[in-house]
Amino acid sequence: MSNIRNVGEMVEPNHDEYNRQRFVSILRKKVLMDFAGDMKTIYQKKVEPNFEKKHGRKPKDGREVRKAMLHEPVFEGWSSLRYNAQLMTWWSVQPAIERDLSDLIQAAKDARAANPAGGSLELNPDVDVPREITELDVHLMPGCFHTEYTDDDVAQGAVYHYGTTVFSGGLPHRRITKGGVASSIANYLKLAHPEFKPKRILDMGCTAGANTTPYKEVYPEAEVHGIDVGAPLLRFGHARAEAEGAALHFRQANATDTGYPDNHFDFITSSFFFHEVSVPDTKKIFKECLRILKPGGLMLHMELPPSALTDPYYNFYLDWDAFYNNEPHYEKFRGLDFPEALAECGFEKDKQLMVRIPNFASTPPDEFKAVATGGDTMRRDHGNGAVWFTFGSWK
Ligand SMILES: C[S@@+](CC[C@H](N)C(=O)[O-])C[C@H]1O[C@@H](n2cnc3c(N)ncnc32)[C@H](O)[C@@H]1O
């Protein structure tokens, strides 16, 4: 550990801010657990039977469920609470970040100057930032991923980092963004494919690096890279990683055209990334992955499951974000035929894979190992039920 101040732990809310964050965390949990359960019950007891009476069949997809639910008071209430809880998540962390911003910026500069862990930060002000980011506040996060309000700004990295802690209902005043997805994928790969020892790893759409760090922990010998289009996220991510002793290489680049040489990486991954990317760009990125992946290398992305694997009600529920959370590509991405889309971009069908990986931190080790080594890759009932859907291909 160095004596560089950790931007990921510096921001302390005052009494009122703390309680506001607690309130938002609890409200989100309530909306996503209890109220969502009530809404489903009303759908099953009233909306679906009415639909069946009228059409002589059940709704065939998420759109039909949506149409039937749209003017139900329970949906209107739930949706408006969820929307407001989402906005309040970011608002609840912004005042403390604004108060500490010059300190955060200085700490990030100090980390960059000292660079104690030996990672790197390469920014490119000419990067092509996609239109859905410049035109929309994705996730309703004010300023989105890329906005810079001042020189060397880290504000958006901080808002994402501290905001996702509130969002996930954890201790609101502490950083708990420990990269649950990446530690699940990395530990799964280690058990399922012990012979696979990636030397160079790339995390696409890495944001502030929470889901990049675990790859360095599980594969300490590997060179671990993260790319994103948002400079404030990368400054923040680099500073946090350096303070935590993780040598990560952050670069501002568009995943459609990374600029890396051919056959450069052994392992390419991402988390919660593609649902925010348009379908044409998704295909460009698959092709770019094929180009920069070494023969014998693996591409494995975590995402929301495709709509073909989930039922119409769940599709309606998941695709809420496409309509109300400024994530316009969400529904179209989930509607893709993943094996066909990958094949169209050059990945051979017999080398492709889809795996549901249990959440590493909350699954008993024996059970996690049994799933990783058992070969039944699409089970969804292990652990406490928290599983990450992943898809990809060997090259
Ligand atoms: C929801 S966030 C990903 C979250 C992150 N991987 C995690 O696990 O915390 C999506 C990220 O993708 C980035 N992004 C979107 N389109 C991109 C593109 N074409 N190239 C690189 N990054 C992109 C955004 O700036 C944003 O940081």
What's the distance, CA 53 to chain centroid? 40
pLDDT value for 363:
85
Q: Are 309 and 325 in contact (CB under 8 A)?
A: no
Which ligand 1 atom is nearest residue 210's CA?
9
* Interval between CA 320 and ligand 1 midpoint (Å): 19
Pocket of ligand 1, beta carbon within 6 A: 130, 133, 145, 181, 205-207, 210-211, 227-230, 233, 254-256, 271-273, 276-277, 281
- Tens of pLDDT along 221-277? 999 999 999 999 999 999 999 999 999 999 999 999 999 999 999 999 999 999 999
Point out the ligand 1 atom lying closest to the alpha carbon of residue 277.
16
Q: How far is the CA of 199 from the centre of ligand 1 (A)?
A: 23
**367 and 383 Cβ atoms separated by less than 8 Å:** yes
Which portions of the chain are predicted below pLDDT 50?
A: 171-176
Contacts of 136 (CB under 8 A, 6+ apart): 144, 326, 328
Give the separation between CA 395 and CA 386, rounded to whole angstroms: 29
- Backbone φ, ψ for residue 371 (5° rounding): -70, -45
Name the helix (H) or strand (E) containing 157.
helix 155-167
Nearest CA owner, ligand 1 atom 10: 273
- Give residue 205 CA to ligand 1 midpoint distance, Å: 3
Helix (H) / strand (E) element for 204: namely: strand 200-204
Nearest CA owner, ligand 1 atom 24: 205
Strand partners, 146: none
183, two tokens: 């530690």
pLDDT computed for residue 172 by the predictor: 35
Place of tokens 């696409």: 204
Q: Which amino acid is at 138?
A: V
CA of 77 to the centre of ligand 1 (A): 30
Q: How is residue 118 annotated by DSSP?
A: -
The answer to whether 66 and 60 are in contact (CB under 8 A) is no
State the distance from the centre of ligand 1 to the C-alpha of 42, rounded, in angstroms: 35
Ligand 1 atom closest to Cα of 179?
A: 8
Distance 206 CA to ligand 1 centre (A): 6
Three-state DSSP class for residue 254: coil
What is the pTM for the complete model shown?
A: 0.95
Q: Which run of H or E residues covers position 352?
A: strand 352-358
CATH number, domain of 222, equals 3.40.50.150
Which residues span the domain enclosing 92?
Answer: 1-395
Name the residue at shortest CA distance from atom 14 of ligand 1: 205
Q: Are 8 and 97 in contact (CB under 8 A)?
A: no
Residue burial 320-333, b: 16+ Cβ < 10 Å; e: rest: bbbeebbbbbbbeb
Total domain count, the chain = 1
CA 251–ligand 1 middle distance (angstroms)? 12
pLDDT score for 383: 53
Give me 369's structure tokens: 């190992």
